[in-house]
Amino acid sequence: MVIHYSGEKKIKQYCQDIEKVFSDALVEQGFDPSIVEVDLMVVSPRMIKKINKEYRAINKVTDILSFPNLLDPKKTGMQVLPSLTKEEYKDDINYETGNIMLGSMYLNYHQAKKQSKLYGTTIQREVVYLCLHSLLHLIGYDHMVEADKKVMRQMEEKILEKNGIPMQFTPKK
């Protein structure tokens, strides 16, 4: 799997964990990680607020935003990709790498850091979790309804547990 990082200086020590979790998540879905890529940009709170307002009409800071390339933008809810091959997505291949571009994610490191303190967990766990959460959005997972949220959360837990990263956290009072 290829991850094109931008502004990753603050998360450099977590990149290896992110790459492993991404690979495991794709394998779990039955996808070949070696044929896909994503863009992962670490942005400021001001930038993520601007992006959130422009693309989602929500004028507030958030932790991570996902912009999938392969999903139907007119459809809402879960639309998990049943398969992922270069033949199916020939129009979505990066001509420079030969990989399928799943999409882009924008991570607000400052918010991740705040949330790690709020939830009583590590910054590593929060950054890796948010990136995994975003990757799952890129392949069609969603959490707008409770049943879908449960499915997505189970996948997150399974992948994080496999990688020795605790999913559970205890909110600080």
pLDDT tens digits, residue range 109-168?
Answer: 999 999 999 999 999 999 999 999 999 999 999 998 899 999 999 999 999 999 998 766
Distances (CA, A) of 58 to 44, 103, 123: 16, 20, 25
- Does residue 52 belong to any structural domain of this protein? yes
CATH number assigned to the domain comprising residue 121: 3.40.390.30
- Does residue 173 belong to any structural domain of this protein? no
Collapsed DSSP state (helix, strand, coil) of residue 38: strand
Give the Cα separation of 22 and 77 in Å (integer): 22
The parent domain of residue 67 ranges over: 2-162
Give the predicted TM-score (pTM) of the model.
0.94
- Does residue 172 belong to any structural domain of this protein? no
pLDDT tens-digit series, residues 97-123: 999 999 999 999 999 999 999 999 999
Alpha helix stretches (DSSP H) within 15-83: 15-28, 45-56
172 is written with which tokens? 């600080």
Count structural domains, the chain: 1
- Does residue 167 belong to any structural domain of this protein? no
- Does residue 171 belong to any structural domain of this protein? no
